[in-house]
Each structure stands twice: as C-alpha cells, then as structure tokens.
Amino acid sequence: MSSLQEYMSGFGNEFASEDSRCPGSLPEGQNNTQVCPYGLYAEQLSGSAFTCPRSTNKRSWLYRILPSVRHKPFTPMSCGDLTENWNEVEPDPNQLRWKPFNIPKSSEKKVDFISGLHTVCGAGDSKSRNGIAIHMYTCNTSMIDKCFQNADGDFLIVPQQGEILITTEFGKMMVEPNEICVIQQGMRFSVDVFRETRGYILEVFGAHFELPDLGPIWANGLANPRDFQTPVAWYEDRTVATGYTIVNKYQGKLFSCQQDFSPFNVVAWHGNYTPYKYNLENFMVINCVAFDHADPSIFTVLTAKSTRPGVAIADFVIFPPRWGVADHTFRPPYYHSKSELIHTSIDTKLHFMRLKSALCRC
C-alpha cells in the first residue's frame, strides 16, 4: 500500500504547517495571541526544559479546536504484557533470543496496537529518566476512537510485517516495513492497520534520538537529514458521543480517560518538536576497509545520547546490503563481549523478560 500522505523534509528543523481547509490559521509574529485565528486554542508541547540552550531546545506550538486538557480524570488500567519491572525474573548472562511473536487472528480475537504491546527487555526506568525498554507489537485491528500518549519517553517504531497508518496531532504518517518512525514523548497518536501486523519498538527515557556525529566521515554519509519526513497539519472536528479514550503511559503503568471529542483537532502548528519517519533505503552505508572490519557504530541511524560523552543510552543500527571488500583478514559475524549494539550508561544490567515462552536459549 503506497503512502498518499504529505510530508516536510528535514531532521530537527523548524517547521510550520496549517491545514489548507483553514488558511491563515497559523498566527503570524507571535505564538500566543490574545485571540487566535478561527477561535483556536494555543498550546505549547515541550520536549525539553524551557532553559535548555537554543541548539537543544525542543518545543512546538499547536493551535487546536479544543484544549487537550478537557477530559475526565485518568484512572489505572491493565498493563497486559507491558512492564518496566526488570526484577520479575532473575538476571541471566547467557545469550538469549526470542522467537517471532504470534499475531492473533482477527477472526479469533480483536487486538489493537495498545493491547498488542509486549515488553521483551530493558534497563533503567522512566522515573529516573535514564534507560531503555524494548517492546514488540502484534495487532490485527485499528484503534477506534482511542489514542495513545507516552509520558515516559520516545517510541522508535520499526514495522516488520504490515503497514501502519499513524495519526498524530501533527498529521498523518504511513509507515511500511523497511521504514521507521519516531513518536516523541507526550505526543498523542492512533494506529490503523490493514492486516495482521507486527513490529518492534525501542523506547528511550530521558533523551531524544539524534543523528550520530560523523567524525572522520566528515560532512556526508549514513542518514542524511533531508531524508527524514515530518507530516503536514491535518485535523478532524469530530464529536464522539460514546466517548473517546486516551491511554497514557506514565511511570511504566497505563491509565485511561474519556473525552467527547477527537484529540486530533490541531488545525495548525509550528516548531521543532515533531513526529517523523525515515526510509531505511536512503541510508548511505560506509563499509569498505583495507583489512579487519569497522565497528558496528558506523551503521548507526539514530542515537540517544547519555550524559557521559561518547556513550549512548541506545543506538539504532542497521546492516543493509553493502560492499564488504577487505584483504588479509577474517570477517567474523558481529559479536562483542559487551552489549555494543544496545548501550546503556547505567549500572543496571539488561534483564530479559520471558513472556509467554517468547524467548528461547540461543
């Protein structure tokens, strides 16, 4: 299924977008006018502290039909196979891997993106704002009058089987296998699927994904900023008499609340804190060496840096088709005695979660 959505290009750019149905809805000259065009409400979504340096300050202004806080109180709900408690199982230093998660048949059980989340492993926690979690999603049904909001961290979503149409407050993104998308902390989104669907999620706490420094590669190579795509503004002015459900992930637990309108009512927005997608075919891989082999860090698409220089909380690395030319060397598979492909700057060891016999001994 090809994508018909519109996008703006660039990574971390200052974007501005308004739905063509409401020309002039984006205020000019200031962010929070006394009266916004069309009677809209101005809200700021912050992805960093207000006092962060300009180069790292992340925020976007959204102009919506109704305020996002006009909902009933949040109440706890079942977390299913989603967890942040790494003490549920004993640490195991052995090599582990997991079998593909089974996707429920839609004829047997309806499972949407939220109910199909399964935690595989992780380290740290969202309360300390330091660490990661790795999840799988398996679903066969679109989210109907329901959206998800992660207050804990950023989701890097990697579809493995089936396309997903992600509706966000900023607009829509069609994400297919061999593409990735990032939904940053605090952004509400809903997932539509078209068949039985499965994929991976890398969640990071306390940091945002960045493009890695190129070092001696110099100016060009790996993932180019211009190939990242951000959706354009799209809104729906829709009342939901039966109730619209917002599911909030907060400190590793799930909560839900009800409101009587769609949260995707943002008519216009501007800023540099946005969701985005990337086609992995655009990755400019660098690999040829004279001898030995380069470390897997040269295949990094996105990195989430820690406070320790040179050490990442997590790196998203791919190994695409490439020339592998070398002389006088043995080229073994990439294996390191330390967890080089999943970095963590905290002392907590990586604990693998055995959920419903999903993991097996390597």
What are the φ and ψ backbone dihedral angles of 38, each rounded to 5 degrees?
Answer: 60, 15
Euclidean distance between CA atoms 269 and 267, whole angstroms: 7
CA distance 298 to 286: 7
- Check the annotation: does 135 bind a ligand: no
Of 204, 164, 172, 182, the residue nearest 278 (C-alpha): 182
Q: How far apart are the two ends of the chain, measured CA to CA in Å?
A: 36
Residue 343 bears catalytic tag: no
Q: Name, in order, each residue with C-beta under 8 angstroms of 71's C-beta and a sequence gap of 6 or more.
A: 246, 257, 258, 259
Q: How far apart are CA 264 and CA 256, in angstroms?
A: 17
Tell me how far apart the alpha carbons of residues 347 and 327 are, in angstroms, rounded to a whole number.
39
Is the Cβ–Cβ distance between 297 and 336 less than 8 Å? Answer: no
Return the number of other C-beta atoms located less than 10 Å from residue 21's C-beta. Answer: 11
Question: Which of the residues 293, 328, 343, 351 is marked catalytic?
Answer: 293
Question: CA-to-CA distance for 125 and 201, rounded, in angstroms?
Answer: 16
SS3 217: helix
Give binding residues for Fe cation as ranges. 336
Catalytic residues: 293
